[in-house]
Amino acid sequence: MRDNSARRVRWFPYAVIALLLAVLATGTASNLHRNPQPQLVAEGITGRAGPTRIEEPTNSADLARPELIRDALIDLDALTLPDGATLAGWNGPWRFVWPRDASFVAAARCSVGQYTEADKVLGFLNKIRPTQGRWAARYSAPDGKEPQDGREPQLDGSGWVLWATWFCGQTQPKASGAESTNPMAKYWPMVKESGDQIVAELQKSGLPAPSPDYWERPEKQVTLGTIAPLLTGLRSGIAIARTLKHSDQTEHWQTALDRLAKATDKHFGPTYPRTPAKATSFLEPGIEPITLEGGADAIVTVLGPPFAPARDVVTKAIEHSRDVLTQPNGGVTPGEQWRTDGVTWTPQTALFALSAAARGDQGTANHLLAWLDAHRTTTGSLPEKVNRDLKPAGEAPLAWTTALVVLTASALDHPLPIP
């Protein structure tokens, strides 16, 4: 009888390889079904045929990437209604005013000297401000009503609005004589209500209660996405209160800020993940300690310039988070706990660009700006996402990304104020 064992041995590895390839193919198909490539919702603002050629900008902040910044400002014009209501996007579920996005638009406009336009944006926010409680996740335009779509109010709005108000007050030229009234004074009711709400939310631990943040989902634990804007918001509010001589708020908010800052370092340091770390691992002497669980989040950028004074421990956390969150297509995902689909989000990529520019890392800032520039739509708008195959996806233009790109270009041109 003929012995075929040798032949079987020779073919066995090929059979195993074929089986593995079949398993991989099945897994890939399943992953694509569960995490499909998001498609482009819109190429840009209706009626815009392509990047618009306009006169050379007079503000030097626009000179870093002229076409990118000119198109960004054009898109912000289109997204802002006459009463200052600034839409997050042009279409469907984006066609609302998010306090976060609008705050960044106001700051971006002030960074390039568009104070009148910024004042309209802040004026709309002042008109719709909550008299008590948290800011809504989003508001309809132009009536300013909260859409009833099940989204919970978001505490981070109080921080963003305070920061934008202070930022614009710092960047505007100081008037004299009869026009010397501080431009922040008319927004004091909004500032006071937002600052008081932050303080009211702080618990015995020094941290606020859980709240949805820019991930737009219910949260069981407090997240850095809420805490980071509250820290910069309180610092900004204190500066406004001090300037406007509201000593009661200055002292009250300073006490709250000290508690929140101390609790943040205790529960989130030294790597500042999205949620409080379960534990900290101290390795060998000379090796940086690491937090266990929690996961990196792009919002760690808000713990440093231009939102907060620079600290070495935060800078290390920012650089570590960018390394962890950078995807194969070159952009950044919101966080380690975000779905693993290889799709990148432009707001988070732009946050790292702004952080780098404000910290003096021009190489990283220019690299990320170039990446964002290269992945605009055919009409020149900045999209919400970039697919695994490097195609723009999601809403375009997206106000938050667009404003962040303008702020980054400004930071490359001149230092931005830091609360």
Which parts of 22-120 are beta strand (E)? none
CB of 118 closer than 8 Å to CB of 86: no
- CATH number of the domain located at residue range(s) 94-173+180-268 in this protein: 1.50.10.10
Is the preceding peptide bond at 270 cis, omega within 30 degrees of 0? yes
**Amino acid identity at 363:** G
- What is the H or E stretch that residue 234 is in? helix 224-243
Q: Tell me the average pLDDT across 378-393.
A: 94
Q: What is the pLDDT of residue 184?
A: 85
CB of 64 closer than 8 Å to CB of 357: no
Residue 25 burial (CB count, 10 A): 10
Condensed to tens digits (0 to 9), the pLDDT of residues 247-279 reads: 999 999 999 999 999 999 999 999 999 999 765
Task: Return the sign of the alpha-carbon dihedral for residues 30, 31, 34, 40.
Answer: negative
Buried b vs exposed e over 274-286: b needs ≥16 C-beta within 10 Å? bbbbeeeeeeeee
Q: Which of 43, 159, 149 is nearest to 90 (CA)?
A: 43
Q: Higher-confidence residue: 418 or 13?
A: 418
What is the pTM for the complete model shown?
Answer: 0.86
Q: What residues contact residue 87 under an 8 Å CB cut-off, 6+ apart?
A: 79, 80, 81, 94, 95, 96, 97, 141, 399
95-99, 150-154, 176-180, 181-185: least confidently modelled range? 176-180
| Local structure of 36: helix, strand or coil | coil
Q: Is 73 a residue whose pLDDT tops 90?
A: yes
Condensed to tens digits (0 to 9), the pLDDT of residues 361-379 reads: 999 999 999 999 999 999 9
Question: Where residue 53 falls among pLDDT bands split at 50, 70, 90?
Answer: very low
Q: Is 24 a residue whose pLDDT tops 60?
A: no
d(CA 277, CA 312): 19
- What is the H or E stretch that residue 236 is in? helix 224-243
Q: Are strands 344-345 and 385-386 parallel, antiparallel or unpaired?
A: antiparallel
Q: Map out the domains of the chain as residue ranges.
A: 38-79+275-419, 94-173+180-268
Condensed to tens digits (0 to 9), the pLDDT of residues 299-329 reads: 999 999 999 999 999 999 999 999 999 999 9
